[in-house]
Amino acid sequence: MANFLAQFQTIKSSSDHIVISVEDVSGLWPTVKKGFEERLPFKRACLNNKTRNSVFVENLPAEFILTTDARLRSRFPHEQYLFWFREPYATIILVTCEDLDEFKTILKPRLKLIVQNDEREWFIVFVSRAHPSNDQATKMAKKVYSKLEVDFSSRKRERCCKLDIHSPEANFWEDLDFKIVESIRNTLDRRVQFYEDELRKLSEQRFMPVWNFCNFFILKESLAFIFEMAQLHEDALREYDELELCYSETVNVPGKQRDFGGLERGDEQAALLNSGNKPLNEIVQDDSFREFEFRQYLFACQSKLLFKLNRPYEVASRGYSFIISFSKSLTSYESILPFCMREVWVVTASLALIGATSSHYKEGLVALDVEKEFHRLEGDLYSLCRLKFMRLAYMVGYGTYLERSPVNSASLSMLPWPKPAVWPSIPPDASSEVLAKEKMILQASPRPKHFGIQRKQLPLEPSILLREANRRRASLSAGNMLEIFDGRPIDGVVSPSNKPHTAAMVRTNSIPGNFESSIDRPMRLAEIYVAAEHALRNTISNPDLLKSLSSLEEFEQKYLELTKGAADNYHRSWWKRHGVVLDGEIAAVSFGHGNFDLAAKSYEKVCALYAGEGWHDLLAEVLPNLAECQKILNDEAGYLSSCVRLLSLDKGLFLNKERQAFQSEVVRLAHSEMKQPVPLDVSSLITFSGNMGPPVKLCDGDPGTLSVNIWSGFPDDITLDSLHLTLTATFNTDEGVKALKSSTPIVLNPGKNTITLALPPQKPGSYVLGVLTGQIGKLKFRSHSFSKGGPAESDDFMSYEKPVRPILKVFNPRPLVDLTAAISSALLINEPQWIGIIVRPIDYSLKGAVLHIDTGPGLKIEESHAIEMESHTDVMDKTTMENRSLGEKNNCHSLKIEDGQVEFPDWASETNSVMWIPVRAVSDQLPRGSSSGAYSGLYLIFMYCRLMTDV
Amino acid sequence: MIVCVAIVGHQNNPLYIQSFTEGDDALKLHHVVHCSLDVVDERVNNPKKSGPMLNETYLGLLYPTENYKVYGYLTNTKVKFILVTTDLDIKDADVRNFFRKFHAAYVDAVSNPFHVPGKKITSKTFAERISTIVKAFGLSSAG
């Protein structure tokens, strides 16, 4: 049966619709043809699917062909069964007759002859040519037709219908459609049944030696094609799925070694969407097909049906899995396939799949999640293609131009090198190309990172290519590695400090003619690149791909196209992180081209992503790039904020030297001529909190000092030109914000600093720390706006916030001091005597306090004596206070009175004390020394204490 | 071979990430773990797709690439455990078991009264325990 493969494919490609044969008994076809063909394609044809359920096919294309047509004649009976799908599904017998006798004698026997073949589905269309005005003719036609019905219709099956040419009945055409579709349905059912029976028989033998996959295939595909012609694509797809399953089950039977295929020129161009790529008879092997071509053929058939079912999403989904699994097969045959066949095939397959699915895909027609999933798959396809393309580019020497980013490293360094049986060797006349590659290697030095950041570069190689390639060369032993490396840095671990020696340029090996002996010595890197390039030119037949690898510019263009494709699609899917990360790769290219604006925008997105989720290690890789863009673009605000962000990252991520570089940039910019003062948020770098312990307590209207802890994340000392700290009242949010200022420069050491700020008088209430702002040069910075209970740790993301603690309490007015007279006995008129005042501070320091004394009329302070003061406890020790007399010197301190004011000594600020004031009651009437009850006490008119901290 | 294990907090912030490769290439694994959160998010946000897996902590294979595999595990508190392995032929039950041990070790680590919830796990004991689990996994899957 396999011999029919070629014929089968030709027939299949030429017939794509159902055929209805027309037996034109009475030569009526030209008359009715137009009317009949207007009915095509059939609308809402009711057919049965494989599971015998009714399915309405919206548009069923068909063609009427006369039985006398060459296409329906001269077929051998065995062909009929094999290619049954092209046989007519219904036979319409067109007759007319105007005479009963003629019907009986001529027409009826002829019709009986035609319909005796029971296998066919047939029905008779009686055409009446009688004019409606001609009653005689009309009657006769009716008679003949009823006779026809009696003879050919049965109770089970209505097989006749009548068409009046002059006035067709309204329901004739519907009746015709119904009868045709009914016939098609019956034929379809019968044929499907037949094929299924045959297939069942065959598949039962599939593990027997007689099994022939080709036979099974022809039957199975015929069945699939029958469904496809009937527009039952779902059923057709199922047949192909089963075919694939059966193939994979039987193709890899152990003991039967078959050719894999894929060795012909052009095979590297994926044909997974082109079922007609190769004739099937060319890929037959023994009793089956070659895997390489056949699996692609099957996928092409499946995808064609899926596109017809309007499911490009499923093509992408199945396609991605297909590429991955096919790529695995290619890996296992890698040693016999052309060099890098797998990589090239994946590139072409992904591109073909992306092209086909995106052109069939219409936005907004499917559910949102399907749409997202579709874009995710497209993104995956682009990524896969991008990865293999990068690998190819690396093989030909563009590796140094590939960004050694985490994303590239993750995919490339875990992707094994190609494993050809023998690594390609260098063609004899390639000396100039080798020289060019040498030059390229020498010229490429990794771009030094901004701020002088030095990092070990991430690998793009699973192992060192030089070693891998030389190891795989047949005649070569492992060799002396030093000789191989030739004193040059190993590819992939080129560090800026380890630049290739310029002496390597003048190398004797570069002399033409020396290459013939190259087979015996290890190849150098440049030679490996050239050899790979030549081998790839043999592998790749696709001119576009060849062009993309032909020069660095072409490579970059393709690389950008693939990266953008992947990023765009990921952005439209659930996988935002994938998209943003690839944006970063695009940014690197933009940067290289001097599009710093574009680069900065993309880098910003990447940084925002990493910063938002606290992935500092990754952020540390990208942020310097963003900073560099901002610096070039003169974006001072952005640059400053990037520097601050760099400083606030985990300390271990950068060397101290690098962190100092960030700081010096901040300071340099802050003191430079900035166009406008730039506000800067340093929340993560400068944090502050109040002192541990109880809050400072003050009374209403009192000034004071407040000490605050400030943590500096700068690696070096930093000078703050001014500092403002707000206090927020907890009782009143409207006017509760008070600003504390320190206009003298403050130097912050790295780590904890305690600074003291003067506190002007505040309203009563309790206060918490608010915002810390300040200036470094022209730079206005602002820290976080809440007080933290403890020091901000390096990863203050998600910092555990403690409840805000009051730092200052200002109390309502209350008595702060108690003054009482030490003596309440009567005074002698005109006699100087001591009057004592006991001063008791009430939970309040009297430091710097001033006592105002106004004696009032009739009493005078004796200015010849100094006022004295002693501790109250000392006084209590004495036997009696009345014993005191002027001039008695005890443990007393002299104080001066000026304008009725006495300054308190510091020792007396916290303790109870007694102030002795020399007074004399004055009276003109009374003689000196007489006693009077009227002046029995000292009039303390007014006493006023004030803390002198603001003096 | 397990090349990387990671714990990611409920705000997708890394809590612990440890790679087991020889080279100085941990950053690429940071990238792999970070990007795998896309898949975790997708599964969590589309319960329809995950279907019966909804109540299951083990998320299964997140990432079937050609050269490495990423598995995920999601706790009730939305803490994610990620495993990156280059072993392409790996049993699901083994991975499940690994995550269970990993989860237990995590619970012990965060139960330490000195650990601040939401902060990175810096405990050396925890790191040692994870190394032991990873080594044991290598032995069991190899054998």
* B41 neighbourhood in chain A, CB within 8 Å: 574
A918: phi then psi, degrees, rounded to nearest 5: -80, 120
* B46 neighbourhood in chain A, CB within 8 Å: 369, 574
* A795 neighbourhood in chain B, CB within 8 Å: 119-120
d(CA A158, CA A86): 26
- A291 CA to chain B: closest CA distance, Å? 20
The pLDDT, as a whole number, for residue A948 is: 38
Residue of B nearest to A410 (CA): B28
d(CA A301, CA A684): 59
The pLDDT, as a whole number, for residue A567 is: 95
Q: Does B48 touch chain A (CB under 8 A)?
A: yes
Tell me which of A45 and B63 has the higher pLDDT. A45
Give A97-140 pLDDT, tens digit per residue. 888 888 888 888 888 888 887 678 888 888 888 787 878 888 88
Task: Check CB contact under 8 Å for A800 and B119.
Answer: yes
Residue of B nearest to A616 (CA): B14
Give A878-893 pLDDT, tens digit per residue. 544 445 554 444 567 7
Beta carbons within 10 angstroms of residue A413's beta carbon: 20
Tell whether the model's pLDDT for residue A90 goes beyond 50: yes
Tell me which of A498 and B122 has the higher pLDDT. B122
Q: Does B22 touch chain A (CB under 8 A)?
A: no
Q: Does B13 touch chain A (CB under 8 A)?
A: yes
- B96 CA to chain A: closest CA distance, Å? 24
* A793 neighbourhood in chain B, CB within 8 Å: 119
In order, the DSSP letters of A446-500 are PPPPGGG---PPPP-SSS-HHHHHHHTSTT-----HHHHHTTSPPTT---TTSPP
* B37 neighbourhood in chain A, CB within 8 Å: 577, 613
Q: Does B122 touch chain A (CB under 8 A)?
A: no
Chain A contact probe: residue of B22, B38, B79 with most A CBs at under 10 A: B38
The pLDDT, as a whole number, for residue A531 is: 92
Which of 347-386 (A) contact B at CB < 8 A?
Answer: 369, 376
Q: Does A407 touch chain B (CB under 8 A)?
A: yes
d(CA A582, CA A149): 75
Q: What is the ipTM of this complex?
A: 0.95
- B70 CA to chain A: closest CA distance, Å? 12
Query: For chain B, which domains are there?
Result: 2-142 (3.30.450.70)
Task: Check CB contact under 8 Å for A798 and B37.
Answer: no
The pLDDT, as a whole number, for residue A120 is: 81
Tell whether the model's pLDDT for residue A501 goes beyond 80: no
Task: Check CB contact under 8 Å for A617 and B37.
Answer: no
* B51 neighbourhood in chain A, CB within 8 Å: none
Chain B contact probe: residue of A613, A653, A795 with most B CBs at under 10 A: A613
Give A428-485 pLDDT, tens digit per residue. 888 888 988 888 888 877 777 888 888 888 889 888 888 888 888 755 544 444 444 4
Q: CA torsion A584→A589→A593→A594, rounded to 10°?
A: 20
Tell whether the model's pLDDT for residue B129 goes beyond 90: yes
For tokens 């907004």, what's the residue? A364
The pLDDT, as a whole number, for residue A409 is: 92
pLDDT, mean of residues A225-233:
89
The pLDDT, as a whole number, for residue A926 is: 58
* HEC profile of A550-600: CCHHHHHHHHHHHHHHHHHHHHCCCCHHHHHHHHHHHHHHHHHCCCHHHHH
Nearest to A409 among B25, B41, B67 (CB): B25
* Residue B142 burial class via C-beta count within 10 angstroms: exposed 0-12, middle 13-18, buried 19 and up: exposed
If pLDDT is split at 50, 70 and 90, which confidence band does A900 have? confident
Beta carbons within 10 angstroms of residue A336's beta carbon: 13
Can you count the helices (H) and strands (E) in chain B? Answer: 4, 5
* B32 neighbourhood in chain A, CB within 8 Å: 410
- B93 CA to chain A: closest CA distance, Å? 23
- A557 CA to chain B: closest CA distance, Å? 25
Secondary structure letter of residue A417 according to DSSP: P
The pLDDT, as a whole number, for residue B142 is: 58
Q: Does A618 touch chain B (CB under 8 A)?
A: yes
Task: Check CB contact under 8 Å for B119 and A798.
Answer: yes
- B25 CA to chain A: closest CA distance, Å? 6
Assess whether the previous peptide bond of A416 is cis (omega < 30° from 0).
Answer: no
* B64 neighbourhood in chain A, CB within 8 Å: 324
Q: Does A795 touch chain B (CB under 8 A)?
A: yes
The pLDDT, as a whole number, for residue A615 is: 93
Nearest to A614 among B14, B23, B25 (CB): B14
Run of H or E including A181: helix A172-204
CB A696 within 8 A of CB A809: yes
Candidates A574, A572, A563, A577; CA nearest to A387 is A563
Q: Does A798 touch chain B (CB under 8 A)?
A: yes
Tell whether the model's pLDDT for residue A329 goes beyond 70: yes
Task: Check CB contact under 8 Å for B67 and A416.
Answer: yes
The pLDDT, as a whole number, for residue A793 is: 43
Tell whether the model's pLDDT for residue A833 goes beyond 60: yes
> How much of chain A exceeds pLDDT 70, in percent?
85
Nearest to A578 among B23, B38, B118 (CB): B38
Give A248-279 pLDDT, tens digit per residue. 887 766 666 778 888 888 888 888 888 888 88
> How much of chain A exceeds pLDDT 90, in percent?
23
pLDDT, mean of residues A921-932:
61
* A798 neighbourhood in chain B, CB within 8 Å: 9, 11, 13, 118-119
Q: Can you tell me whether residue A913 is helix, strand or coil?
A: strand
Give the list of residues 6+ apart from residue A657 with CB closer than 8 angstroms, or none: A452
A59: phi then psi, degrees, rounded to nearest 5: -135, 115
The pLDDT, as a whole number, for residue A733 is: 56
Task: Check CB contact under 8 Å for B31 and A797.
Answer: no
User: Average pLDDT over chain A, rounded to whole?
Assistant: 81
A162-166, A585-589, A825-829: lowest mean pLDDT where? A825-829
- B38 CA to chain A: closest CA distance, Å? 5
pLDDT, mean of residues A918-927:
73
The pLDDT, as a whole number, for residue A721 is: 87
* A617 neighbourhood in chain B, CB within 8 Å: 14, 26-27, 30
Nearest to B34 among A577, A795, A797 (CB): A577
Residue of B nearest to A575 (CA): B38
The pLDDT, as a whole number, for residue A834 is: 80
Q: Does A739 touch chain B (CB under 8 A)?
A: no
Task: Check CB contact under 8 Å for B39 and A327.
Answer: no
* HEC profile of A819-878: EEECCCCCCEECCEEEEEEEEEECCCCCCCCEEECCCCCCEEECCCCCEEEEEHHHHHHC
d(CA A275, CA A266): 15
Which of 681-700 (A) contact B at CB < 8 A?
Answer: none
β-bridge partners, A681: A782
- B120 CA to chain A: closest CA distance, Å? 8
* Contact pairs from chain A to chain B, CB under 8 Å: 94
Tell whether the model's pLDDT for residue A865 goes beyond 50: yes
